[in-house]
Every structure is written in structure tokens, then in C-alpha cells.
Structure 1
Amino acid sequence: MGSKPVTNVQEPGDLDRKDGIWSCNTLEKAASLIQSHGPLHLLNYVQGEFQTTSSTKPPYIDSYEPKTGTAYAKVPCTQPDDVEAAIRAAKLAFPGWSKTPCAERSRYLRRVSELIQEHRELLAVWESIDQGKTIERARIEVDRAAANFSYFSTFILHEQTAARMVDSAWLTYEHRSPAGVFALISPWNMPLYLLTWKIAPCLAFGCTAVAKPSEVTSMSAFLLSSLFKKANIPAGVINIVFGDGPTTGSTLVASSLINGVSFTGSTATGINIRRMVAAQINKHLSLELGGKNPTLVFSDAMSNGHRDRTISVAASAAFENQGEICLCGSRIYVERAVYDEFVQSFTDYVSQKYTLGKTVGAVASLQHYAKVRSYLQLATDEGVTFKLGGVPDALDNVDSTGGYWIAPTILTNVAPTSALQKDEIFGPVVTITPVDSEEEAVGLANDSEYGLAAVLLTADGGRMRRVGEQLEAGLVWVNGWLVRELGTPFGGMKSSGVGREGGEYSRDVFTVVRTVHLPAY
């Protein structure tokens, strides 16, 4: 059996109702709704409609508000039959959507961008509630989600191709067409932004999709479904199903009807995806995986005129969004001549600027809280120096915790072989290590299985290129962090993934290319 339309949805699928979720454009209103309504039941979005699963008693996953530790929503764990029904809907929609003129697809994407902007504050409120991030951080990510649709809506209006002559007798040119139906799987740390980073180019280049957000943070995907409906995206072009990885995600990725997978998440899951599709050699794969990113601080970066920027950039790279960004610089290497000065200034700055409940949110889940805490306990066991922070209390009862709060933590005297230096902790934890030379800094920065991002802080123009071009990272920032131009390639080296997305690189993911040879006669 497939899914069936829901005819008695009270909330929150209806955009026109003003007494429910779409009126909650403040944290206070949202909290009041949750308290009065009880857990919000999310619904899949398939073939242009909100749908329940085919099971009369579908399994649900409790979704917890990280700031309070209380369950506030129930997320369906979509079963294989319903996943396949969503895939078939996307497959059915593909011929029509792939032939839709670029100008028309562009109008649809622009409308989605406009709707995201219109509902900016509401989306930010629910993103903050669902993920634990501050409302200020959530607003930034909503703006970037709108930008994703806006950018790709115009990109497809200015495509180019390559043509070549062979002995003046043949004209050859490259022709691209949409690759088919995609599985789009996004993580829990930046739910709306990273989901739209996949959906926007997928639809722009004429593909259809079944998207699955993380079961930990599904609310913004649910709200986005309503915006797709309001934008009149044709039925089946974009479908969103909820659920966990082993049940919902695995079914989606392994389906023979899926032509490609764009995934952002852990390296372990990325490895599993490659194993699942090993025999399906035709599937397009774009895997953006983990990171354990270095920040390199040289002595000239601590000179007058540069020092304040250096401290600010290093701190934001370490603690923005509670360190729950795959691009965060969690390993700081500082030239020994300014090491003590940097550690003191950095610690003072972080203690003043990054405070729990104000500029630092809660970590996303109880499970993640326990993971980060285990590394802080390891730091204690290894005799590491805590310049800031400590080991938080153990939490056992998910319903009465008061939230999953971990203070910004700065560690020094950490051995290079420690798991604290090697593993992706993905929380508000940073290590600071002295180095004696440029060569040592580069060697330690590259001494990682990961290669996603790096930050280089220096006033030396020659070093900017010399070191920047040696760092084994897909993205390198010099004297800044998290600046994005959406046409540049996004992705990592080594265990941080395969493939690139952004502008023409996203076109490579979502299209197939053929070379057409035409005779001159």
C-alpha cells in the first residue's frame, strides 16, 4: 500500500490558519502553542499533499527541544513501502519537470525564495526551538536558505556549454540533461540551510527528489513543505519523508529508482552509503562528510591592527552554533612566540562574548550531549588543562533535564595523539597547541583523516598563498571564516567526502553530459 492523503489535519500543515503554527513568529508564541497543543505531529509531503503513512499505527520518533529537554513533536519513521511510494511519485513527475523550460523552473524557485523571506522570523523561531541554536543564528541560516533558491533560480538562466571543431569537418558540443530522481539527505546541525542547499539546485537543473531531513531536526523541513505547496511546485517534483537512517534513509538510498544521492552527515554514514550503492555504478554520489578543522595563528596575526580580528575570527570559527558546524575550527595551532598571549586573550574574549542562553545555544540532542561530555571526561582523565569550561553533569532522564547545555570549553596541553585532537567532537570544544615553525603548523594541520576546511590567520601575503595552498582542505579561509560565494566548489578532501556542490559543480551532480558530434556537411 502507498500513502494516503490526510483530510483532517488540524495543524500545522495549513498555511491559511492564523491560530496555529503559522502565527508563531516569536519564541513566546511558539512555547505557548507547544504547551497548549501538546506534541506536534509532523506529516510526510508526497505528491503535493501532506500524508500519513500507510500503517494504521505508524512508529513515531519523539523530537525534543534541546533548550528544555522536553518532547514537543512526533516525527513519523517512514516505513519502506511509503518511502518507495514517494520515490515513485518523484519518478512519475520527472519527465514533465525535466522538460519544463528553465525560465519556468526559475519562477518556481524565486517564489520559494520569496516565501522563505516572507516567513523569515517564523522559520527562525522554529529552527531555534528544534535545533537549540540561538534565534540570531537561526535568522542567518533562514536568509541563506532563501539565497540558495534565489541563486540557483538565476544560475540556470545563464548556462553555457563548450563547442569544438575537429579538422574543420566536425562540430562537437556538450549537451547536459537532468540526471533523474535524487535522494537528498541532510543533517541536524543546520537543518533548513543545508536541506535547501540540496533541493534548490536539484530542482533548478530539472531533477525531482525525495528529501529526508534528520529525525533529530525535522520541523523546518515540514514547514518548508508548506511553502512548496503554496508556491504550486508540481506534484511529485519534491517529496519530503521523515524517519531514521536505518529504516527510512537506507530504503531511500538503496532504491533502484534513485539515480543519485546527495548526502551531508557523518563519515561513518557516508561509508555505509557507498557500500549500499556499490553495485549501482550509475548512481551519482555527492558526500559532504565530517571535519576536524585546523585554525593556524601566526605571530604577525597578533600584531597591532590584526590582533582583535584574529581573536574574533578564531572564536567564531570555534564556537558559532555551539561548534555544531562541520566547518568549525576546533584545533587551533599558534606560533609559540605569541602562544601565551593568544591563549589569554582568546580565553578572555570567549568568556565575555560566548555565554550560554544568550550567544550560545544548547547542543542538539541528549545523545549528542552525552557524546560531547564523554570527550570532556576524557580530557579530565588525560590531565588536560581546562582554560575555560569543564565536564557538565551527566543527564539520564530525557524528559526532565532542563536542556542540553554545554559551556564553551578551551583545552590546552593536549597530546597530538589524543582523541581530543583526532575525533570530530562537533561541539563547543576547542584545543590550542603551540608550534615552532610554519612547517610544523602545516604538518599538524594536515595530520588528520579529515580535510574539509581550514582557517589561516596571518598578515604575511606570501604565507597566505604558501600555506593556504599546502593545507589539505577543500575550503581555506584567510583572516576570516564562513564566507560563501554560492558558485564556488563546496566539499572536502580525504575522509571529508567526495564530490563538490555549488554553481556549475552542482550542475555536475544533478546532470548527465553527452558529447554530440555534427558533421559540417
Structure 2
Amino acid sequence: MPAVTHDEWLRRAKAFQLSGAHHIAGADEPGSGATFPVVSPRDGRVLAEIPDAGTAEVNAAVAAARRAFDTGPWPRLAPAERGRALLRLADLLEERREELALTVSLEMGKPITDAYGIELRAVISTFRWYGQLTDKLTDSAPHTAPDALALVTREPAGVVGAVVPWNFPLTLAGWKIAPALAAGCTVVLKPSENSPLSALLLGRLATEAGIPPGVLNVVTGDGPTAGRALGLHPDVDVLAFTGSTAVGRHFLRYAADSNLKRVWLELGGKSPNIVLPDAPDLDQAAATAAWGIFFNQGEMCTAPSRLLVHASIAERVTEAVVRRARELRVGDPLDPETKMGALAGRAHLDRVRDHVRQGVGEGARLRTGGEPLLAETGGTYLEPTVFDRVDPGSRLAREEIFGPVLSVLAFDDLDEAVRLANATEYGLAAGLWTSDLTTAHRVSRALRAGTVWVNCYEEGDLTVPFGGMKQSGNGRDKSVHALEKYTELKTTWIQL
């Protein structure tokens, strides 16, 4: 984190300006004239008026991506040359890191230390990793009859539509854009209408890095119009989406109603975090549980929102989590000392508070939190919230809240813990705390989740895939495996 004071961040925020324009075919395009405001959850300030894309703007962006794929140089470049362009983009992101971190913090309420130290670190690492990977991939030549030669090659899939949410606006965009570009695809990115500013900067920096016009296009607008137009477009070959399960269903319908494009979905979660009595360090388990649910204001699809604790240690662990919740510093995202910033907007704050009220109505015990904070700032802040005595069948235990709300459930034996953990329509992630190696392996295999963390949470790097099971989606971001989403396998059989 740079040595930038709160006062200096405030000064920069006051001077913050960003011109609103789609980025299509390597240039800024104002669109039809319709706009929408981007409101900072930090203080309710309107940061910018951004073009509201209709079908015409989406068509223009897809047409630019189609031309760039069908006749442009990008898919035909040597892989190493594509890699060098991605590395130049990573360098530009590093050079503009403070500006981008400020943009993310202002548009979605993330603490500036997290925006700079986690969000920007992740997106820069993503473009560097895939930039270094492009010329290290190989095709195959299976052994076959002596009078034939068989080649199995991976080819870029075409035009990719990428639709990403507001909670990690750059990281999740990077997880889709970088492997797609590395594979030789072209991309139309539609960011959330809550957080389009950082995505527009990303598009402009890609052009500055020398990525050819039309290879990365950014259109801003809402889901029902711009997102739908992208999902239905017959010239989009692949659609990659991160967001809610409800919206994911729409994209599957759009694919069915158009060209049967492949749709890759990373959706919601209600992740269990299981703490057994033989956890190597119960205090560390409690500290990690608190960090996991309150990090990024709980606005994480992988957030460990269900803490499953053995009955013999439930009160001890719960009390430790409650204590940390009460000590957590909630405040101005631009204050480097802030640990939890603002929720993403007024409507989202209201939804989270509705879940809190429902939890109380269902009979769960509210141990701490649940009330709005700092209303005088004009921002949307909420106290870190912990419930225990939660009924496993309640909405509090089953529905994704996407906020700083933890449900604690006690269990008596390991079989019950696994049943509770899997008793959800989601299957994105899970945590397990134990000192027993056999238990770690058996429970990890039994949990229906795309990622299982043992004696940690939210750890990993770009070498490992990320994605879900069940209604948490399909396909994988990160790692070499992400390239499978953006490539087609071709067999060439040559009779000798």
C-alpha cells in the first residue's frame, strides 16, 4: 500500500472526474445520448453520468469484435506476441494502480487498502500470468495408424461476451478477459451499472497497450437491455457471466433462443465453514471466519456465510467471532484504517437489512450488529452482523445475502456437519478446520463445492481453477483450465 494519507485520498476523490463513453473499436463512443448516474455508496455523490447502452450500441461493439476476430490480426498473431501485449497492459495497470484503486473504492465502497492491495494486485497478476502463458501451450498428435497423422489443436472460440458484477469489478473482468485474449478471442465486456468506471479505464488502457481496435470493447448499461442484447446476439460465440443465479438462468435462455452459444456461469454461494474441536488453532479459525464474512462487506460469492461449529466449542468460537465483529472498524473507504466500507448502494443495503429482519422473525438469535451506520454521510453502511441458533431450514441459513451477515449453526457429529454443509442449492466453496489428515481428505471429498479450503479460507493463486458445482455454476476461471472456455478442439486427420 502506498504511503497516501486519508487527507490525500480525500483530495483526489474531490478532484475525481471521468468522462463517460463506451469504448468500441479502440475509441470512446458517446452512444445514443441516454445516460445513467454512477452513485458512490461512500457518500451518495454522483461520480459520473455514463452512457446507457441500448441494442444499437451492443450491436456496434459486437460488430467491432467480430471484425477484429474474422479479419483482424489478433487471432493470427504469434502467441508470444499476444502475450507481450497482455504484459504491456499489466504494466500500465501497475502504473495507474492508485488511480484505478481510487476508482474502485469510490464506485463500489471497497476500502482503499483492499482496492489497492487486493483488487489491483489480483487483476495485474491475472494479465501477467496469462501473458506469460500464451506461448507455453501445446497441441497434440495422438499415436494412430502408421499411414495417418492425427492432429488435435485448440483454436480460439470467437467473440466472447463477458458480463461481470460490481463486487470485484476489475478482478472478475480480468479473470474472463485475460484468458480469452490469450486464446486469441475478442471480447465485449459489459460491467455492472454500479461499477462501470474502472472497466472503462481498463478498456482504454488495453488500447494504449497496443491491443488492436475491436479486440476489447466495453459497453455500459443495465442487464435487462444491454446484457440481454449481448446474450441474444447471434455473433457472440461464448458468454461468460459472474453474478446471481437468477440472472444466470436468463443467459441460458438467451443462448437457447439465439445461436446456442456456450454459456459459462459463476453464480451465487452460501458457503459453509466447518470448525471441528481438533482444529489446529480455534482462535485462528474464529478470526478467519470473521475476516471471511466481513471482508469486502460480505459482498463475496464465496463468503463463508454459514459457520458450522461443533456443539462442544460453539459458544467459544461464536463469542470470538462476535468480539471481532464489534471491534471491526467500519467507516470511510478512503481512510486507510478502515476495515469494512460501504455496501454497494441503497437498494442493496435495504435487501440485506430485510434478510436481518427475516432472521429475527425466524427465531434466530441476533448476537451483534444488523443496524445501519453513518447515515449522516449519505453512504450505505451496515454493522457487522452475527446470528446464532439458526434453524438450518430457515431463509437465513439457505439464501445468499451477499452482505456482512453470518449464520452460526451447531452440529453434534461429522456426518451431521457434512449434511448441513451440503444442504444448499449452491456449491461454490467450503472451509474445514481440523488437525486430522484423514478427516480433511474424507470431508473434502464429501463436500459438494468447487473449492475446499482446509485450515484457511480464500487462499490460492492463479495456478488453480475457480468455479462452482450445483447452482453455483459451471466452467472454471483462473489457471490453464480457464482456456477451455475460450477455445474449440479441432481434429485434423491426414492420410499419408
Aligned to 1:342: 317
Structure 1 range deviating more: 160-169 or 496-505: 160-169
Q: Secondary structure at the match of 2:305?
A: strand
Equivalent pairs, count:
483
The Cα shift of 1:26 comes to: 4.8
Deviations 1:72-98 (A, max 9, x none): 221211111111011111111113211
SS in 2 for 1:166: coil
Matched, 1:116 2:93: yes
Shift of 1:325: 1.1
Q: In structure 2, the residue corresponding to 1:163 is in which secondary structure? A: coil
Partner of 1:474: 450
What's the offset of the Cα at 1:353? 3.8
CA contact (8 A) 1:25 1:121 kept: no
C-alpha separation in 2, matches of 1:208 and 1:176:
16
Relative distance call for 1:516 and 1:233 in structure 2 (3 A) is same
**Counterpart Cα distance in 1 of 2:372 and 2:360:** 12
1:435 partnered with 2:411 = yes
Q: Equivalent residues in 2 for 1:164-243 (5 A)?
A: 164-243=142-221
1:262 aligns with 2:240: yes
State the match for 1:125 in structure 2: 102
1:359 to 331, 334, 339: 339
Q: Distance in 1 between matches of 2:136 and 2:314?
A: 49
Query: How do 1:80-479 and structure 2 match up within 5 A?
Result: 80-95=55-70, 96-139=73-116, 140-280=118-258, 282-301=260-279, 306-357=281-332, 358-392=338-372, 402-479=378-455
> What is the alpha-carbon distance in structure 1 between the residues aligned to residue 417 and residue 329 of structure 2?
27
Contact 1:30 1:126 in 2 (8 A): no
Give the deviation of 1:282 after TM superposition: 4.5
1:119 Cα offset (Å): 1.3
Distance 1:249 1:242 in 2: 9
- For structure 2, the 5+ residue unaligned runs are 1-5, 333-337
In the alignment, the residues of structure 2 paired with residue 339 and residue 123 of structure 1 have an alpha-carbon distance, to the nearest angstrom, of 42
SS at match of 2:296: helix
* Distance 1:147-1:26 versus aligned 2 partners, 3 A rule: farther
2:475 paired residue number: 499
Report the counterpart of residue 11 of structure 2 in structure 1: 29
**Residue identity opposite 2:94 in structure 1:** Q
- Map of 1:518 onto structure 2: 494
**Paired amino acid for 2:250:** N
Distance 1:401 1:277 in 2: 43
Counterparts of 1:289 and 1:514 in 2: how far apart (Å)? Answer: 30
Q: CA deviation at 1:225?
A: 2.1
SS of the counterpart of 2:213?
Answer: coil
Matched-pair contact (CA < 8 Å) for 2:427–2:471: yes
Alpha-carbon deviations, 1:49-89, whole Å to 9, x = none? 11111x2xx22111111111222221211111111011111
In structure 2, relative to structure 1, the CA distance for the partners of 1:84 and 1:113 (3 Å cut) is same
The answer to whether the 8 A contact 1:26-1:121 is kept is: no
- Aligned mates of 1:59, 1:281 — CA distance in 2: 29
Report how far residue 355 of structure 1 moved.
3.5
What letter matches 1:267 in structure 2? T
Q: Residue 295 and residue 110 in structure 1: after superposition, are their counterparts in 2 closer, same or farther (change >3 A)?
A: same
Q: Which amino acid aligns with 1:209?
A: V
Q: Tell me the SS of whatever aligns to 2:315.
A: helix
Structure 1 runs of 4+ aligned residues shifted over 6 Å read none
- Residue identity matched to 2:267: L
Q: Are the counterparts in 2 of residues 25 and 125 from structure 1 also a CA contact under 8 Å?
A: no
Percent identity, please: 37
Shift of 1:281: 5.6
Cross-structure match for 2:335: none
Query: Given that residues 191 and 199 in structure 2 are in contact (C-alpha distance below 8 angstroms), is that contact kept between their aligned partners in structure 1?
Result: yes
Is the 1:356–1:407 Cα contact (8 Å) retained in structure 2? no
More displaced stretch, 204-213 vs 89-98: 89-98
Separation in 2, partners of 1:26, 1:133: 17
Deviations 1:99-146 (A, max 9, x none): 111111011000000111111112111111111010111011101100
What residue is the counterpart of 1:14 in the other structure?
none
Maintained 8 Å contact 2:475/2:482: no
Letter in 2 for 1:359: K
Question: In structure 2, what is the Cα distance between the partners aligned to 1:423 and 1:394?
Answer: 27
Task: Tell me the CA shift for residue 477 of structure 1.
Answer: 0.7
Q: TM-score, normalised by structure 2?
A: 0.94
**TM-score, with structure 1 as normaliser:** 0.89
Which runs of 5 or more residues in structure 1 are unaligned? 1-23
Post-superposition shift, 1:186? Answer: 0.5
SS state of the match for residue 364, structure 1? coil
- More divergent stretch after superposition (434-443 vs 457-466): 457-466
Determine if contact 1:306/1:459 at 8 Å carries over to the other structure: no
2:325 and 2:385 in contact (8 A); partners too: no
Deviation at 1:25, TM superposition (A): 11
Say whether the 8 Å CA contact 2:283–2:317 is kept in structure 1: no
Whole-Å separation in 2 of the counterparts to 1:169 and 1:406? 70
The letter of the residue matching 2:361 is: D
Q: CA RMSD in A?
A: 1.9
- In the alignment, residue 244 of structure 1 is paired with which amino acid? D
